């Protein structure tokens, strides 16, 4: 090969490089669109199954096996650069938004894992926000929303004992929250609007544990705000029978007209497909208590305790001793938290985010 031939080959390489540049730029335009989609839906940047498919597809089109390894490395680098571009683009989108504060209000919050859940979410989504625990006495409740808004809070969660009481200070509530009669999530802008994500969180937890509701017989222990969300979800999803189990059966009948109410001392779980504990009985620090004794729990098909601290409550211990499948409320806690973030961030969050947070934090419970 003489120098003229070499230059001719190099010119051809330059022409190929020019075309490659155009194609790579076109690819990056599409990568930017993917980044925008992932930002709006909360989808994770890393998608290993997609990358594996791309590599296999590319290698399947290589005609000369001698080039296969080189082409594989080139495309691996292209995808690495694409992921880094997406990550930087999403971070840039999020930095454009003003730093916002969120928090949980309640009477006593020392046991709460909500900050870890929300702050882990912020980290995964590259959102510049913080989440605080805000303990307030009942006499401060009337002014708390205005105070928090003035302090720069964009949204808050609400826990016991204020889920129903806070509603009188809201400008609007979602249809779900109105039906339930309790809120656990409030968006402070442009006006005070309340939602109930316990409803969706409970349903997502049942799905996670493979529990089907339609046509089943359910017993709900308790009649407070969490029980309202649980009962509404069960009714909306076709439960055949819903029994409210309470220390005050007459009071429960007034709260839940149309449903059977039973005094907790007289209740037996025999024949019930699942029992859901919506009371705080057995919660830390009084972990040696259970709303039902072991004899009462016999015959239940599944037990779910909405308490997540301790990890295994006394009620769950009874269930395990009787060979009854059971679960605590930690998955529901995470699911309802991310449902709240969907409201605040005005985007759909991929279920993978919930599962990732659950796997990352479940050993801390």
Residue of 163, 187, 193, 216 with catalytic role: 163
Do residues 151 and 181 touch, judged by C-beta distance below 8 A? no
Spatial distance between the Cα atoms of 206 and 173, rounded to a whole number of angstroms: 25
Q: Which residues contact 93 (CB under 8 A, 6 or more apart)?
A: 36, 39
- For residue 296, say if its preceding peptide bond is cis, omega within 30 degrees of 0: no
Tell me if residue 214 is catalytic. no
| Angstrom distances, CA of residue 318 to CA of 222, 291, 300, 303 | 18, 11, 11, 10
Q: Please name which of 71, 154, 55, 140 lies closest in space to residue 106, comparing C-alpha atoms.
A: 140
Provide the token pair at 239: 């439960």
Token pair listed for 107: 């009477």
Cis peptide leading into residue 12 (ω within 30°): no
Token reading at 69: 């390894």
Picking from 159, 160, 153, the residue whose alpha carbon sits closest to that of residue 132 is 153
Which are the catalytic amino acids?
Answer: 163
């Amino acid at each position: 090969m003489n120098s003229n031939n070499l230059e001719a080959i190099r010119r051809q390489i330059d022409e190929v490089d020019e075309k490659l540049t155009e194609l790579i730029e076109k690819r990056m335009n599409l990568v930017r669109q993917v980044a925008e989609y992932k930002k709006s839906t909360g989808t994770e940047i890393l998608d290993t199954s997609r990358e594996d498919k791309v590599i296999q597809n590319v290698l399947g089109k290589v005609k000369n096996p001698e080039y296969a390894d080189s082409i594989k490395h080139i495309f691996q680098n292209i995808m690495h650069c694409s992921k880094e571009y997406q990550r930087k683009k999403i971070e840039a989108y999020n930095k454009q938004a003003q730093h916002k504060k969120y928090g949980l209000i309640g009477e006593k919050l020392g046991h709460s894992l909500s900050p870890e859940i929300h702050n882990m979410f912020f980290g995964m989504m590259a959102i510049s926000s913080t989440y605080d625990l805000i303990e307030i006495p009942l006499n401060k409740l009337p002014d708390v929303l205005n105070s928090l808004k003035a302090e720069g809070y964009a949204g808050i969660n609400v826990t016991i004992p204020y889920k129903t009481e806070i509603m009188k200070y809201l400008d609007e509530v979602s249809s779900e929250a109105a039906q339930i009669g309790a809120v656990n999530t409030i968006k402070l802008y442009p006006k005070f609007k309340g939602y109930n994500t316990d409803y969706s969180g409970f349903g997502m937890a049942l799905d996670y544990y493979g529990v089907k509701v339609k046509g089943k017989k359910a017993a709900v222990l308790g009649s407070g705000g969490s029980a309202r969300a649980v009962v509404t979800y069960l009714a909306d999803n076709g439960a055949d029978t819903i029994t409210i189990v309470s220390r005050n059966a007459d009071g429960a009948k007034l709260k839940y007209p149309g449903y059977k109410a039973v005094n907790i001392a007289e209740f037996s779980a025999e024949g019930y497909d699942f029992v859901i504990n919506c009371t705080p009985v057995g919660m830390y620090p009084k972990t040696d208590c259970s709303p039902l004794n072991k004899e009462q729990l016999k015959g239940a098909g599944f037990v779910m305790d909405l308490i997540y601290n301790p990890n295994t409550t006394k009620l769950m211990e009874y269930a395990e001793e009787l060979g009854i499948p059971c679960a605590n409320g930690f998955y529901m806690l995470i699911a309802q938290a991310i449902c709240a973030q969907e409201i605040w961030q005005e985007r759909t969050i991929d279920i993978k985010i919930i599962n990732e947070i659950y796997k990352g934090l479940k050993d801390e419970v």
